[in-house]
Amino acid sequence: MGGRNIVVILGLMLLVAFHVAECDPDTVTKVKKVDGKKMCDKGWECKGWSIYCCNETITDYFQTYQFENLFSKRNSPVAHAVGFWDYKSFITAAALYEPLGFGTTGDKKLKMKEVSAFLAHVASQTSCGYGVATGGPYAWGLCYNREMSPSQSYCDEFFKYTYPCAPGAEYYGRGALLIYWNYNYGATGEALKVDLLNHPEYVEQNATLAFQAAVWKWMTPVKKSQPSAHDAFVGNWKPTKNDTLSKRVPGFGTTMNVLYGDRVCGQGDIDSMNNIISHYLYFLDLMGVGREEAGPHEVLSCAEQVPFNPSSPSNTASS
Ligand SMILES: *[C@@H]1O[C@H](CO)[C@@H](O)[C@H](O)[C@H]1NC(C)=O
Ligand SMILES: *[C@@H]1O[C@H](CO)[C@@H](O)[C@H](O)[C@H]1NC(C)=O
Ligand SMILES: *[C@@H]1O[C@H](CO)[C@@H](O)[C@H](O)[C@H]1NC(C)=O
């Protein structure tokens, strides 16, 4: 009898212990009102009082198996960054920008579309897929974490006072959205408080840092007067008369304009643009949102848009 009681008590203690673990204070949403606005703090994932943290956050609708689906070939033997990229590094990096609205703006469908759009850009920049690749051409995102055969070291002497190249450092493309050139490593490093100008190699050694730099780029306008890719996508951005005349409308097409300018946009239906769009449509299907939610061609494409910025060494000059 006594022995059985002890077993029951031990069992109860275990239950209590599990319960306490489930109520880990880090995952409890804290809520307060500021000027009538509901603000929340969700601990590590969406930290700091923000209206965006009151709704679902990324881990609520995007889980490991979905990441594995989207990037199913990244660890295949022929890939070039086997073992580097994982779900946890994406979530850890994304968590820092969730209080600013990354993946936390609007209803669940818009949130899933934004994560799909961001990851579609990542996939198209890091893919080693091609037309007849197994699994199809869009299953090969995150195959790389760096440019494999750089033709130069991407040191622009024009920035020798602001972002001087470190002796021996190579500023070839690295990351989830590739960073090229000393001035881009310098500016990204300043924003992230990591010395990337002297240590550009950190980006190919640390997947969390690589994703963090990419989400930062997604969230940050090239110029103050222009939208970030995030703002253009979720509809925070209100186009000016100039934008309307330039065929720039909120949506996926304008995210390409922000990230790539005239390298991809304003040149009609070119392959490089269609490849990025196809990754996005493929991901919408895999996420269960469905490509029919992508919107009409004018919103998806930037074929007819006037680029925000001409490509020159003084702005993003990737690839
Ligand atoms: C929170 O979710 C609701 C309902 O889905 C949505 O209408 C609202 O815009 C979301 N809040 C923010 C800050 O995006
Ligand atoms: C990787 O980068 C993240 C984000 O900057 C940082 O918090 C972490 O300490 C880095 N990991 C290593 C092993 O350096
Ligand atoms: C509108 O576009 C023209 C031509 O690109 C430019 O010169 C002008 O400064 C723009 N106006 C505003 C308000 O941005």
Residue 33: φ, ψ to 5°: -105, 130
pLDDT of residue 229: 98
Question: Percentage of the chain with pLDDT > 90?
Answer: 83
Query: What's CA 206's distance to the chain center, in Å?
Result: 15
Question: In this structure, which ligand is nearest to the CA of 98?
Answer: 1
Please state, in angstroms and rounded to a whole number, the distance separating the CA atoms of residues 230 and 103: 9
Local structure of 226: helix, strand or coil? coil
Please state, in angstroms and rounded to a whole number, the distance separating the CA atoms of residues 219 and 173: 20
Atom of ligand 2 nearest to the CA of 194: 5
**Cβ-Cβ contacts under 8 Å for 167 (sequence gap 6 or more):** none
Tokens coding 274: 């269609």
103 alpha carbon – ligand 1 mean position (Å): 11
304 alpha carbon – ligand 1 mean position (Å): 32
Q: Whose CA is nearest to atom 4 of ligand 1?
A: 107
102 in contact with ligand 1, CB cutoff 6 A = no
Q: What's the pLDDT band for 240 if we cut at 50, 70, 90?
A: very high
pLDDT digits (tens, 9 = 90+) for 49-83: 999 999 999 999 999 999 999 999 999 999 999 99
Amino acid found at 220: T
Mean pLDDT of 180-191: 97
Question: In this structure, which ligand is nearest to the CA of 195?
Answer: 2
Question: In this structure, which ligand is nearest to the CA of 99?
Answer: 1
87 alpha carbon – ligand 1 mean position (Å): 25
Mean pLDDT of 246-263: 97
pLDDT of residue 135: 85
Local structure of 56: helix, strand or coil? coil
Q: What's the pLDDT band for 312 if we cut at 50, 70, 90?
A: low
Please state, in angstroms and rounded to a whole number, the distance separating the CA atoms of residues 134 and 140: 9
241 alpha carbon – ligand 3 mean position (Å): 9
232, 250 Cβ separation under 8 angstroms: yes
pLDDT of residue 129: 83
105 in contact with ligand 1, CB cutoff 6 A = yes
Q: Is pLDDT above 50 for 132?
A: yes
pLDDT of residue 194: 98
Give me the count of residues in the chain: 319
148, 80 Cβ separation under 8 angstroms: yes
Please state, in angstroms and rounded to a whole number, the distance separating the CA atoms of residues 125 and 122: 5
212 in contact with ligand 2, CB cutoff 6 A = yes
311 alpha carbon – ligand 3 mean position (Å): 17
Atom of ligand 2 nearest to the CA of 192: 5
57 in contact with ligand 1, CB cutoff 6 A = no
Please state, in angstroms and rounded to a whole number, the distance separating the CA atoms of residues 135 and 234: 30
Q: Which of these, 107, 133, 145, lies nearest to 282 by C-alpha position?
A: 133
